[in-house]
Each structure stands twice: as C-alpha cells, then as structure tokens.
Amino acid sequence: MNEKIAPHLEELTRALGDIEATGIRAEFEKLLAFRVPPDVAKQSLLRKFGGAQQSLKKELKVKDLAPNLKNFEINGRILELSEKALRPTEGTVEGRPSTLYTGVLADETGSVPFSSWQELPCQVGEVINVKNAHTRVWKNRVRLSIKERSLVSKVPEGAGTPASLPSLEELSKSPVKKLRDISSLDLSVSAAASVLQLSHRDVVVKGRQATVISGVLADETARLPFTSWAKLPGVDIGSIIRFDTAAVRMFRGVPSVEFLAGTRVSVIDGPEAGELAFSFESVKKDPVPLKMREVEARDGLFDVVTSGNVVSVRPGSGVISRCPECGRAVQKGSCRMHGKVEGVRDMRIKAVLDDGTGTVPVMFNRELSELIYGKTLEEAEALMYSDISKDAVFEDLRRILTGRVLSVRGNASRTEYGVSFVAESVRAPEDDLAVRAVELLHRLDSMEENRVRSRAVSPVAGEVDDA
Amino acid sequence: MLKREVAKRVFAKEFEAARNLEAPGRGVAPEPLPGGALRAEDRMGEKDSKTPNFLLSPLGLLINRVFVVGVLTEIDNVGEQNDMWKARVVDPTGAFTVYAGQFQPEASIFFSTVEVPAFVALSGKARVFEPEAGSVFVSVRAEEVNVVDEELRNRWVVDTAEQTVERLEAFSKALSSGFSGFELSEYLVKTGVPAELAEGISLALEQEGGRHHGEFLRQLGGALKEGLRALNLDSKDAEGAEADIKEFALELMREMGKGKGVDYGIFLKEAAFRGVPEETVEEAVRSLLAEGQCYEPRIGVIRPVS
C-alpha cells in the first residue's frame, strides 16, 4: 500500500481495533477502488463502525436494547441455541453463510432473542461477549443480530464473568411478576390475575380449524391482553387464575401473554384467592389515572387513563381520505402502497396532550373526533367545501380544542418517535376542583408550620433562611 | 426526530424569577432513550444547535416550554416595523409578558384579532432578555393561543398550584436535608422526587447558595394561598351572599362603563348610593380582580372582563 493511505489505516486501527480480521481493511480498499478519497473513506468507515464514539464505552445491558442500534458490546448467558440450514436461493451472493444460528441471550436485566450468521464458540449455559453487535426488529420485538463483522468470544466462567450475571438455572426460570412489570424484556412469565374479558374465536391455522381464546387479564397493577391456544376448563370472566411459563408477545407495542401447550393454568379460589392483593371486584373498576410522566416512561401500556391539556393540534387532523385497500391516508390522490385510488372519507385528530409532567401525542378515531370536535364528518365536510381555505377544518379544530382538558383511556406504545397513545374513549375530567384546592391550602399551611417550627428549634437554619 | 419538550405549569411569580441555565444541556436531557448512549446529540459528537435552551426557576424547575391559562389584559404592536405583538397574560400571582412575531404566524394572527380582555390558553417557549447587567426580562414566545372559558382557567390555577406545591415541598426537603450537589439530587430521587426536579433543585441551590430562598418560598406560598382562595370554587352554596355582592359589583361596572373602564372613586360612590357599604364593595372588587373577572387598565380605573 502506498504511503498516502498508511496514516489512514493506522487511524482506523487505532479507532476500530484489528481491521484485518474484521474485514474493515477490505472494505476500505473497496471504497478506494471506487475512487473515494482516502480521508472521506476513512470517515465513512469510522461512522459505519462506530469509531467516532469509541470514547463512549458502549456496553449495553439487555434492557437498553432498542430497535436499530449499531456497534455496541454486550455480555450475556446463552439460554437457548439452535441452528437452521438455509436453502440457497437464487441470487445469493457466493460465499454467504448458509446456516443461521438462533437462540436467546439473557443477563440480569432481561432476555432477548438473537440470530447469528456465524457459528458461536459456545453452548447453552455459557457466557459470551459480543462486540460490534446490532439490533433489528422482528415480529414486533427487538432482536439481537450478530453479523459477520461482529466479534464473539466466550467468557470463561468465574474470573471473566461479571459477578452480576445470574446462573443458567436462575435465568431460565419463568419469573413471577405483577402484570405492570411484564415487558418485551420477558420471553416467558408467571403470574396470578383475574379474568376481565373472555371470548372464543374459531380460526384456521395451517388448514386446520382451531379455537383461540382471547381476553383481558388484570391484577392490582395493570391490565394485559391474553390469548390461549389451549382450552381453559373452568376459566370464565371473574375467575382468578395462576399461570406458569406463559409466552410474552408484543402486539402494536403493547405486551400480551400467550398460553401455549407448556403453560400451566390453574384456577385459584377459596382462602388462597382471599390472600391476593386484588379481587375481581377491585380490578373491574376503571383504571386509576396516570401522570403523563409515567406514561412516557413505559414502553407499552394497555388500557390506561391519563389526562392533560391539548397544547397542539397536529397537521393531518381533520377530514382525510383513506385507501380502501390498506387504510393508509391518501395524499395527492394516491396511496403510497396502492397508487391512484378512490379514497374513502374519514376523520381523525392527532393532538398533543400535556399535563406539565409529560407530553404524549394522542390519536382519536372518527367516532371520538366527532365527539370532542362537536361536529360530524358530514358537517366538517360541509365546512371544508364552504370555505376557500383548504385548512378550514384544521383551523376550526384548533380553535375548538387548543387548551382544552381531555381525559383519555386507551393504549400507549413506544415507536421510534417516542411514546404515542391511541384513545379508545375520551371524556372531560370529573375531579372536583374545590376539593383539590382545599387540600392544597392544607398542604401550604402545614409547610408554613414546619418552617416556623424548624426556625424555633434551630435558630441557625432560620438565619440562613432569612439572609 | 427530537422529543417534544414538556410544557411546564408555573405561575408568573416563579417564572419571572427564572434565569438562563448556566450550562445549557447539563444533565437536563430528558429521560435517556433506551440504549442511552445513542441519542442524536451524542452521535454528532457534541451538542448541536437543536439542543433546547432551558431556564431554571428559583425552585429548581427546568423550563423550556410553558402552558399558561390566564387573562389577556393588554396587546401592543411593537418592533421596528410594528411587526411584533406584545401581550400581557395575568394569573393570580402576576403577569406573563408574551411576544409573537413573524416566526409565530399562528399566534400573531390570533393577537391581531382577539378582543381584550379575555381568558386565553397559550403554549410557548421561555426566553430571557438581558439588555444590560441588572435588568432582566423573562418572556414567553407564543406558539399557540386560544380563547377559553373561566372553568379552564380555574383548572389551570389548581393544576399549577398542585405542581408548585410539589416543588415547594421538595425544595423545603432539600433545604432541611443538609446535602448539596449530586448527593442532594440522589437523596431527593430516593425520597420520591422526579429526577429532573431533583437535578434542578440542586442546580438552583448551587447558583443561589440557598440565600433569598426563605423569603421567596414564603412569598410564593402566600400568593398561592390567595390565588386558590380567590377562585371561590364553592361560592355557589356556601358563600352565596358574597357571590351576590360580586355579581352586583360586576353588573354595576358594566352598567356604568358601557364597555369601557370606570373611575374607581365614582364607582364606590355609586355603589354606596345604591345601598352597599364601601368596604363590602371594595372587598368584592379585590376578589374580582384576583379572580381575573375585572382588571385595572390604568391606576384608579376598573373594567370588567367581557
């Protein structure tokens, strides 16, 4: 190699480690072959492989994993491992590996499914370290992806293993949890809960008729949807059940539990049910409203209530036209999947609600939009045609909604743009302002008393206070 | 895409005393994203111009955006080409100065058509202007403004009082704990104070060294109590007589003013002439002023809201 590129190679090695082994050097030369100037090529490789942020040691825990992360390091114990031969398909690049290794990796913060294009130097139960790992989304949940360029090494038990990493036995136990704590970090869970809703549905799976049971579970902390592929004898609305080793699935960003063949489900009654922190009567009540700070902090929430002021009505609210095929909003007469279509009229509102502790965009469907707007779709359309401004409905919506307090009930989910909320119902808050005001006056009085008392006890503190 | 900043609830008295946060972005990033180290700013290597500006209130509230509901009492056309609107929005503790210029077209259009006085709800960004040492102007650059009703204003006062009392309580806890800096914010988080407020309180104490806070706490507490009492939320049943007097005073104001202001002295005489003692009317007017049902466009002149 000539002298011009030697310094660049040196810098790459400094930033990224062994560039020969990881194939980064080959990639660098490929860019040069395309007549990319060496320093630009270096920059782009540094960006791609994360050299610019070497100063930040990016060792992540399972709970930190989000979609589409790049070039991080992770340690974990292998809980499951299997390999899958891939049939070579036409157009496959020569030399591409034909075996995919999949499994589950866990640390003390959770477990994550992974897939690897390289054979792993270890077996179930052993600890590995992966450098240059990536994530992607598969079946609505984050998946760890070990690529050809990732460096995988086995961490010997004892000296090399982080002390915090639990044993295989502990990690593969299906933890007993409260419903609120079930998240995408769990692959399987156990819990006790009351059945709030239940229905049977006949579906055809792989050409065979099957009955699936679906419904809603609740304990004192949260509600969660569930499905069961097995019959649940003796279980009905109002039953309290205990389930062991149920699978956790993600649907639209909200966790749900799935009872599979291996799940044990039993009905709890008599004195044992009396010992639980909840009963069917207590969980049947409307959920307690959450602050928006709490909604924002969670990845996905099922059937919760929160309220706030409308601080902004977002563009795209009002009368829209939807693709008859897929329901996407039609823009300029075309659907981005189905081209030119005859759109179907619909109304929706996207509003940002804010309670001073957090801020959450909330979607309202046609029915709820008509309710809070006070105009039907037809009335809105009439307004749209009577006014030369194409934003007449949007402006009208802003005038009616901006500032108002809305209490919404529905599901929250985390997308790549943060948490968003889909309303199932909406109402004006019903709390009594006079009661709240009196309570605040009491709190202010008792704070004053404390201040006076502390000054009496400690004159020094008083002086500082008054200075 | 950047996370939208929360619109904080804060009374004018606390807002006016806020100052620019010395080290912008220091520890004020909202909750770390899952996968913490990979936020946008970090990818850039350093904070870019999109990092939001924050003000820090004496009670440790970090403010970027605010949401205010109050009485719009004045609008002026200012700026070199008269292309800037300046407005005052009054709450029970004081007034917010609000600006809207060519880059806030929605708010500017609103101010160009609204009639004062009116109850308004507004969201906007907090700004500090310091033309010379010692003179500081804290204002709101309006984003969205709308006319609302008195019920919503009352709700805002109670909501804001609730969040202010939470801050006052956390702040008192901080003062009596004896901790400072990082230790203090750790202690506060452990006792249930939200992380952002805990950080803000320890920053506020660092900047001020704990002086003046006793006096400010007392004043704000007093203003809050007055504001909450003035809402007269249960006036319908318990304090019917007082409500009647206020209704009478408002009616008289409207009748005498015919859409304009009334000289306060003449107003009192007229009330006395109709058989209501001066002190009773004065008290009713004070409480009407605090409630935002009437205001003083000039000293010695009162005018009902709408």
Give me the DSSP letters along A94-118: TT---EEEEEEEEETTEEEEEEESS
Is the minimum CB–CB distance between B274 and chain A shorter than 8 Å? no
Please tell me whether residues A320 and A373 are part of one structural domain: yes
More confident residue, A135 or A311: A311
Predicted pLDDT at B17 = 92
Please tell me whether residues A47 and A73 are part of one structural domain: no
Cross-chain residue pair B67–A311, CB shorter than 8 Å: yes
Predicted pLDDT at B49 = 52
- Give the torsion sign (CA, B187, B192, B198, B202): negative
Please tell me whether residues A304 and A276 are part of one structural domain: no
Cα torsion B273, B275, B279, B285 to 10°: value is -80
Gap from A464 CA to chain B (nearest CA, Å): 7
Please tell me whether residues A235 and A256 are part of one structural domain: yes
In-domain check, residue A11: yes
For the segment A35-57, the average pLDDT, to the nearest whole number, is: 71
Q: Using CB atoms, pick whichever of A58, A66, A355 lies closest to residue B33.
A: A66
Cross-chain residue pair A58–B38, CB shorter than 8 Å: yes
In-domain check, residue A453: yes
Please tell me whether residues A164 and A257 are part of one structural domain: no
In-domain check, residue A78: yes
The B residues from 45 to 104 touching A (CB cutoff 8 Å) are 45, 67, 69
Please tell me whether residues A154 and A188 are part of one structural domain: no
For the segment B151-160, the average pLDDT, to the nearest whole number, is: 95
- In a mutational test of the A interface, the residue from B1, B3, B15, B38 whose CB has the highest number of chain A CBs within 10 Å is B38
Residue A461 has pLDDT above 60, yes or no: no
Query: What's the structural domain count of chain A?
Result: 5
Contacts of B45 in chain A (CB under 8 A): 52-53
Q: For A346-350, A359-363, B122-126, B130-134, which range has the lowest pLDDT when averaged over its residues?
A: B130-134
In-domain check, residue A423: yes
Predicted pLDDT at A93 = 57
Helix (H), strand (E) at residue B190: helix B181-190
Please tell me whether residues A222 and A298 are part of one structural domain: no
ipTM of the complex: 0.72
Q: Using CB atoms, pick whichever of A354, A405, A416 lies closest to residue B7.
A: A354
Q: For A94-98, A328-332, A437-441, B94-98, which range has the lowest pLDDT when averaged over its residues?
A: A94-98
Is residue B16 within 8 A of residue A30, CB to CB? The reply is no
Is residue A164 within 8 A of residue A108, CB to CB? The reply is yes
Residue A444 has pLDDT above 90, yes or no: yes
Predicted pLDDT at A459 = 47
Q: For A378-382, A463-467, B32-36, which range has the lowest pLDDT when averaged over its residues?
A: B32-36
Q: What is the pLDDT of residues A391-439, one digit of tens each?
A: 899 999 999 999 999 999 999 988 767 788 999 999 988 888 988 999 9
Q: Which domain holds residue A302?
A: 292-427
Q: What is the pLDDT of residues A191-227, one digit of tens each?
A: 999 999 999 988 888 888 888 999 999 999 999 999 9
Residue B6 has pLDDT above 70, yes or no: yes
Is the minimum CB–CB distance between B33 and chain A shorter than 8 Å? yes
Gap from B302 CA to chain A (nearest CA, Å): 28
Residue A292 has pLDDT above 50, yes or no: yes
Choose the final residue of a domain: A262, A284, A306: A284
Please tell me whether residues A307 and A345 are part of one structural domain: yes
Domains of chain B: residue spans and CATH: 240-304 (1.10.10.10)
Choose the final residue of a domain: A284, A310, A328: A284
Predicted pLDDT at A237 = 92
- The number of angstroms, rounded, from the C-alpha of B52 to the middle of its chain's C-alpha atoms is 20
Q: What is the pLDDT of residues B219-267, one digit of tens each?
A: 999 999 999 998 877 544 445 667 778 888 888 888 888 878 889 988 9
Cross-chain residue pair B38–A293, CB shorter than 8 Å: no
For the segment B289-306, the average pLDDT, to the nearest whole number, is: 86
Predicted pLDDT at A183 = 83
Average pLDDT over chain B reads 84
Please tell me whether residues A226 and A257 are part of one structural domain: yes
pLDDT band of residue B34 (cuts 50, 70, 90) is: very low
Please tell me whether residues A211 and A196 are part of one structural domain: yes
Most confident of A379-393, A449-463, B40-54: A379-393
Assigned token pair, A233: 């004898």
In-domain check, residue A346: yes
In-domain check, residue A91: no
Q: What is the pLDDT of residues B47-65, one digit of tens each?
A: 445 567 899 999 999 999 9
pLDDT band of residue B10 (cuts 50, 70, 90) is: very high
Please tell me whether residues A305 and A275 are part of one structural domain: no
Q: For A138-142, A282-286, B185-189, which range has the lowest pLDDT when averaged over its residues?
A: A138-142
Average pLDDT over chain A reads 85
Assigned token pair, A346: 């619909």
- The number of angstroms, rounded, from the C-alpha of B139 to the middle of its chain's C-alpha atoms is 10
Is the minimum CB–CB distance between B224 and chain A shorter than 8 Å? yes
In-domain check, residue A200: yes
* Domain at A352, CATH number: 2.40.50.140
In-domain check, residue A92: no
Cross-chain residue pair B67–A299, CB shorter than 8 Å: no
Long-range CB pairs of B276-285, under 8 A, 24+ apart, other chains included: B276/B245, B276/B248, B280/B245, B281/B245, B281/B249, B283/B245, B284/B242, B284/B245, B284/B246, B284/B248, B284/B249, B285/B249
Q: What is the pLDDT of residues A107-155, one digit of tens each?
A: 888 889 999 988 888 888 888 888 888 888 877 788 899 888 788 888 8
| DSSP 8-state symbol, A314 | P
Is the minimum CB–CB distance between B44 and chain A shorter than 8 Å? no
Q: Using CB atoms, pick whichever of B33, B210, B233 lies closest to residue A464.
A: B210
Predicted pLDDT at B50 = 59
Residue A22 has pLDDT above 70, yes or no: yes
Contacts of B171 in chain A (CB under 8 A): none
pLDDT band of residue A288 (cuts 50, 70, 90) is: confident
Predicted pLDDT at B42 = 38
Q: Using CB atoms, pick whichever of A69, A357, A444 lies closest to residue B225.
A: A444
pLDDT band of residue A91 (cuts 50, 70, 90) is: low
Choose the final residue of a domain: A263, A284, A305: A284
Predicted pLDDT at B235 = 46
Please tell me whether residues A41 and A69 are part of one structural domain: no
